[in-house]
């Protein structure tokens, strides 16, 4: 098969597939491909067809492999499916791996300027060659132009192959380069170079995009941006941070929103954003601002949490509000800084020295990033402690389709138990660490609330209910027990889990959280189609409420699906609920790529099938 000499002659087999396939781009980091690939995904959305896009990129600035996967899914699945139907292979370094990933009967699109031996191809796929480099070398003089416009040429080629109206992409280009007509015209030309080549030398393939009306009013947004906007609506006025992938864009988005929404008409800023010298300083600023009554946060990832633990412990013991957005990535140490994992659960839940426990919110998509981003500040004030919002790179740095954010304008900020000037003046008995109501939460005051009442010394050492230093064992134990009561109160405030019951009665269940959600829901549908039924529970926060433990108790076996090596959610369930570990079956995915529906269905399906075989024997 001399594919390189006669590209695109292989015939597609099988029925036409409309609005239900996966396209994966294999590029080199720094080649300018990210913009073109993003426009490809947005062009599908403009056709009214949902997409689930995942950017898998290296941690260097230039030179290493990068992939961008676009799932075209009229059914609206927002997780990764697994497998590739059309590979756009633009990186010779990863060629063999990329070609191997294509589904049988799928398609390979590549730059056929240089001949390749038949051994580089497969007999069960259709090869689509376009001489991208030759076309761009002939048209453009500057090396950078040749590289950048090559991306637009292949974008035009794909539009012609998949049946996408080029005018849709023209509209996106016009919006992206608004006011720069020469650049718009140049991109139009490159786009139509690709379109024309396909019309003259190739034919549309059996993977086709057809206009639909399945996107509706949903928005396409990154989780980091959503969380940052949630922080604004939640009343945050202070952000102290230190740059770290993949959380940096959260602070940058918060800056942009504050410039628009927290700036007076006269230009006076009603916010403070500090890029501190390190993570230790950033959390110190947040705790100091929280002590003063401001709503403050930092955003970081696993290595930053490690550095922040002493201040987090201070927040816990001195009972000072703080919010931390932890955008989780691959660890340990520097690990895989541009890959996704759910591997900071234990480190965040118990961060600090001695006996500490911290509430965590576990959003599943950008919509909940916005919702929980706002809620975290109410919880932090209410519970007078650090609240973790546990995103991950998949949610934080990828754009997801989600419902428009909703906000109740009548909603009031919950500042928790704050003793006022009038209450102090009336002779209220103020003990900073005194449990008045039996819920473990004491009253606090803001600095300067009264000229001679309500003041106390904030310390990280042991003290009595009136904040006076004490190392008496009984007093220390009483205080630590009160903190446990407060943690029990937190169970009533954390968002409740969401349950999905199987279509038939079953003794099997599954627990999952966060960005695993869309793939998990699709896998459940697939398993039910095979006659394998599971009740499902998505946990949305820690500490776990009684409903979580009741769910476990009601099933003989519960799968726990998560994206880390050590089954951290399962460990928390065992530790906090005193659950028999043998009852919880770990299903773990931690290679740094977002989990797929196929992986979940395969792993759980194999265990269920094994159980059926053993029962039959």
Cα four-point dihedral sign 7, 8, 11, 13: positive
Residue 412 domain flag: no
Residue 512: its pLDDT value, please?
98
**44 and 185 fall within a common domain:** yes
**226 and 373 fall within a common domain:** yes
DSSP label at residue 5: T
**445 and 507 fall within a common domain:** no
**Which residues, at least 6 apart from 560, have a Cβ–Cβ distance to it below 8 Å?**
510, 511, 512, 567, 569, 570, 573, 584, 585, 586, 587
Q: What average pLDDT does the segment 91-95 reach?
A: 95
**For residues 302 and 326, is the Cβ–Cβ distance under 8 A?**
yes
**325 and 472 fall within a common domain:** no
Residue 31: its pLDDT value, please?
86
**198 and 151 fall within a common domain:** yes
pLDDT digits (tens, 9 = 90+) for 198-257: 999 999 999 999 999 999 999 999 999 999 999 999 999 999 999 999 999 999 999 999
Q: What is the CATH number of the domain that holds 290?
A: 3.40.50.970
Residue 9: its pLDDT value, please?
44
Residue 414 domain flag: no
DSSP label at residue 598: H
Residue 6: pLDDT band (50, 70, 90) is: very low
Considering 167, 185, 208, which residue would you say is the last residue of a domain? 208
| Structural domains counted in the chain | 4
**177 and 227 fall within a common domain:** no
Q: How far apart are the first and last CA of the chain?
A: 50
- DSSP lists the bridge partners of residue 84 as 102
Helix (H, G, I), strand (E, B) or coil at 560: strand
pTM of the model: 0.95
pLDDT digits (tens, 9 = 90+) for 364-419: 999 999 999 999 999 999 999 999 999 999 999 999 999 999 999 999 999 999 99
Domain extent, residue 432, equals 421-493
**For residues 282 and 240, is the Cβ–Cβ distance under 8 A?**
yes
**479 and 563 fall within a common domain:** no
Residue 616: its pLDDT value, please?
53
- SS3 track for 58-72: CCCCCCCEEEEEEEE
pLDDT higher than 50, residue 8:
no
Percent with pLDDT over 90 in the chain: 94
Q: CA-CA distance, 540 to 246, in Å (whole number)?
A: 21
**488 and 382 fall within a common domain:** no
Residue 254 domain flag: yes
Q: What average pLDDT does the segment 144-155 reach?
A: 94
CA angle 358, 360, 366 (to 5 degrees): 160
pLDDT higher than 50, residue 34:
yes
Highest averaged pLDDT of the listed ranges 332-336, 457-461, 488-492: 488-492
**474 and 510 fall within a common domain:** no
Q: CA-CA distance, 120 to 106, in Å (whole number)?
A: 15
pLDDT digits (tens, 9 = 90+) for 350-369: 999 999 999 999 999 999 99
SS3 content of the chain, % helix, strand, coil (to 5): 40, 20, 40
Q: What average pLDDT does the segment 267-288 reach?
A: 97
pLDDT digits (tens, 9 = 90+) for 38-54: 999 999 999 999 999 99
Q: CA-CA distance, 299 to 323, in Å (whole number)?
A: 8
Q: CA-CA distance, 606 to 45, in Å (whole number)?
A: 36
**Mean pLDDT over the full length of the chain:** 95
Q: What average pLDDT does the segment 59-67 reach?
A: 82
Q: What is the CATH number of the domain that holds 161?
A: 3.40.920.10
> Roughly what angle, to the nearest 10 degrees, separates helices 33-46 and 143-162?
20
**390 and 250 fall within a common domain:** yes
- DSSP lists the bridge partners of residue 108 as 87, 127
CA angle 351, 357, 362 (to 5 degrees): 85
Residue 411 domain flag: no
**565 and 456 fall within a common domain:** no
Task: Please give the sequence-ordered ranges of beta strands (E in DSSP) within 423-539, or none if there are none.
Answer: 498-500, 508-512, 535-538
Residue 213 domain flag: no
DSSP label at residue 463: B
**609 and 533 fall within a common domain:** yes
**Cβ atoms within 10 A of the Cβ of 152, count?**
25
Considering 493, 514, 542, which residue would you say is the last residue of a domain? 493
Q: What average pLDDT does the segment 146-170 reach?
A: 97
Q: CA-CA distance, 151 to 144, in Å (whole number)?
A: 11
Residue 519 domain flag: yes
Residue 614: its pLDDT value, please?
54
* Greatest extent of the chain over all pairs of C-alpha atoms, in Å: 93
Residue 472 domain flag: yes
**For residues 72 and 23, is the Cβ–Cβ distance under 8 A?**
yes
Residue 4: pLDDT band (50, 70, 90) is: very low
**For residues 204 and 157, is the Cβ–Cβ distance under 8 A?**
no
pLDDT digits (tens, 9 = 90+) for 557-614: 999 999 999 999 999 999 999 999 999 999 999 999 999 999 999 999 999 988 665 5
**Cβ atoms within 10 A of the Cβ of 128, count?**
27
**For residues 529 and 502, is the Cβ–Cβ distance under 8 A?**
no
Residue 32: its pLDDT value, please?
87
Q: CA-CA distance, 102 to 22, in Å (whole number)?
A: 10
Considering 402, 429, 461, which residue would you say is the last residue of a domain? 402
Residue 10: its pLDDT value, please?
45
- SS3 track for 409-453: CCCCCCCCCECCHHHHHCCCCCCCCCCCCCCCCCCECCCCCCCCC
Residue 13: its pLDDT value, please?
64
Residue 545 domain flag: yes
């Amino acid at each position: 098969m001399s594919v390189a000499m006669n590209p695109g002659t292989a015939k597609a087999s099988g029925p036409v597939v409309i609005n239900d396939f996966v396209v994966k781009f294999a590029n080199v980091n720094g080649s300018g491909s990210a913009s073109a690939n993003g426009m490809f995904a947005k062009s599908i959305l403009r056709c009214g067809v949902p997409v689930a896009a995942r950017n898998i990129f290296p941690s260097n600035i230039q030179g290493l492999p990068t992939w961008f996967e676009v799932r075209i899914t009229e059914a609206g699945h927002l997780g990764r499916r697994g497998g590739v139907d059309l590979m756009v292979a633009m990186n010779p370094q990863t060629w063999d791996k990329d070609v191997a990933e294509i589904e049988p009967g799928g398609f390979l699109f590549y730059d056929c300027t240089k001949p390749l031996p038949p051994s580089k191809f497969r007999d069960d796929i259709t090869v689509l060659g376009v001489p991208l480099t030759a076309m761009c070398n002939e048209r453009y003089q500057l090396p950078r132009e040749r590289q950048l416009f090559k991306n637009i040429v292949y974008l035009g080629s794909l539009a012609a192959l998949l049946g996408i109206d080029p005018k849709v992409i023209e509209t996106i280009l016009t919006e992206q380069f608004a006011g720069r007509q020469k650049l718009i015209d140049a991109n139009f030309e490159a786009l139509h170079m690709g379109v024309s080549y396909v019309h003259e030398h190739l034919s549309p393939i059996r993977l086709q995009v057809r206009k639909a009306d399945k996107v509706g009013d949903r928005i396409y947004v990154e989780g980091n941006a959503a969380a940052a906007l949630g922080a604004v609506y939640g009343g945050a006025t202070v952000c102290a941070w230190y740059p770290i992938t993949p959380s940096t864009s959260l602070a940058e988005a918060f800056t942009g929103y504050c410039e628009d929404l927290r700036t007076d008409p006269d230009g006076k800023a009603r916010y403070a954003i500090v890029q501190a010298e390190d993570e230790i300083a950033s959390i110190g600023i947040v705790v100091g601002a929280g002590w003063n009554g401001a709503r403050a946060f930092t955003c970081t990832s696993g290595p930053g949490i490690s550095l922040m633990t002493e201040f987090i412990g201070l927040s816990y013991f001195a009972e000072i509000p703080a919010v931390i957005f932890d955008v989780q990535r691959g660890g340990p140490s520097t690990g895989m800084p541009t890959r996704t994992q759910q591997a900071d659960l234990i480190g965040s839940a118990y961060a600090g020295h001695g006996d500490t426990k911290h509430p965590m919110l576990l959003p599943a998509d950008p919509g909940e990033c916005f919702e929980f981003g706002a809620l975290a500040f109410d919880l932090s004030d209410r519970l007078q402690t650090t609240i973790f919002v546990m995103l991950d790179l998949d949610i934080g740095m990828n754009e997801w389709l989600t419902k428009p954010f909703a906000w109740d304008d009548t909603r009031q900020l919950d500042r928790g138990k704050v003793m006022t000037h009038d209450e102090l003046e009336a002779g209220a008995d103020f003990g900073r660490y005194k449990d008045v109501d039996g819920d473990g939460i004491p009253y606090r005051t803001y600095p300067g609330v009264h000229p001679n009442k309500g003041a106390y010394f904030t310390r990280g050492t042991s003290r009595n209910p009136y904040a006076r230093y004490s190392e008496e064992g009984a007093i220390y134990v009483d205080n630590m027990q009160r903190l446990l009561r407060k943690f029990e109160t937190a169970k009533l405030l954390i968002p409740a889990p969401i349950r999905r019951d199987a279509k038939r009665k079953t003794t099997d269940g599954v627990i999952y959280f966060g960005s695993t959600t869309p793939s998990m829901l699709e896998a459940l549908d697939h398993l039910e189609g095979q006659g394998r039924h599971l009740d499902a529970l998505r946990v949305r926060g820690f500490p776990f409420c009684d409903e979580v433990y009741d769910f476990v108790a009601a099933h003989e076996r519960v799968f726990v699906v998560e994206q880390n090596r050590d089954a951290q959610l399962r460990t928390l369930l065992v530790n906090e609920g005193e659950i028999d570990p043998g009852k919880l079956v770990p299903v773990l995915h931690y290679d740094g790529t977002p989990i797929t529906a196929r992986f979940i269905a395969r792993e759980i399906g194999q265990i269920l099938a094994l159980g059926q075989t053993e029962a039959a024997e």
